[in-house]
């Protein structure tokens, strides 16, 4: 008979309601652009002219767009872990590390680095309409811009949730003050 003892879990305070909303919103803001890329993978030009869509029809482009959509959504969903129990204790079904405590910095550092990259990457998206896109239809230019605009908040939302996670776990590690 084997006895599995998990690492002690430091009980952090529950996440604030705004952090839970922000974490779930993070997964949602990535969805419109991901769905649009899947439409392109399926061969629909969705906003591009026939000539502008040619480069999307290569096998490499299709694999890239599919991979980008799936990985982006998975990364965004990981933000939910910062407000759920599996962000503090690895689920038991995960091989080798299941049942172990997540070190707070192992969650916070990648989340904050990722949020910084995302913030820089998408910071110019509000300027979408100031640039000509001759390979798109006029309607496509507007619709694609609208579907990609939510990505502007992906980085800041992730940062806010990560900071909330850090504060909750830092407070849980502090020793109780002697009265």
What percent of the chain stands above pLDDT 70?
89
Mean pLDDT score, 160-178 = 80
Distance set, CA 144 to CA 50, 119, 123, 160 (Å): 16, 19, 16, 27
Band (pLDDT 50/70/90 cuts) for residue 99 is confident
Nearest alpha-carbon partner for 24 in 70, 101, 100, 82:
82
pLDDT, residue 2, reads 45
Whole-number mean pLDDT of the chain?
Answer: 89
pLDDT, residue 65, reads 96
Is residue 113 predicted with pLDDT exceeding 50?
Answer: yes
Band (pLDDT 50/70/90 cuts) for residue 154 is very high
Band (pLDDT 50/70/90 cuts) for residue 114 is very high
Mean pLDDT score, 136-157 = 94
């Amino acid at each position: 008979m084997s006895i599995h003892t998990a690492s002690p879990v430091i009980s952090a305070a529950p996440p604030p309601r705004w952090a839970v909303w922000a974490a779930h919103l993070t997964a949602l803001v990535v969805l419109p652009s991901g769905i649009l890329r899947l439409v392109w993978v399926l061969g629909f030009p969705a906003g591009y002219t026939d000539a502008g869509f040619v480069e999307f029809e290569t096998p490499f482009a299709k694999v890239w767009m599919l991979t980008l959509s799936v990985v982006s959504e998975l990364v965004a969903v990981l933000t939910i872990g910062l407000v759920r129990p599996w962000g503090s204790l690895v689920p038991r079904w995960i091989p080798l590390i299941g049942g172990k405590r997540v070190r707070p910095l192992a969650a916070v550092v990648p989340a904050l680095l990722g949020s910084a990259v995302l913030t820089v990457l998408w910071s110019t998206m509000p300027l979408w309409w100031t640039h000509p896109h001759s390979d798109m239809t006029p309607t496509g230019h507007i619709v694609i811009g609208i579907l990609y605009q939510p990505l502007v908040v992906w980085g800041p939302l992730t940062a806010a949730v990560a900071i909330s996670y850090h504060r909750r776990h830092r407070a849980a590690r502090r020793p109780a003050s002697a009265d």
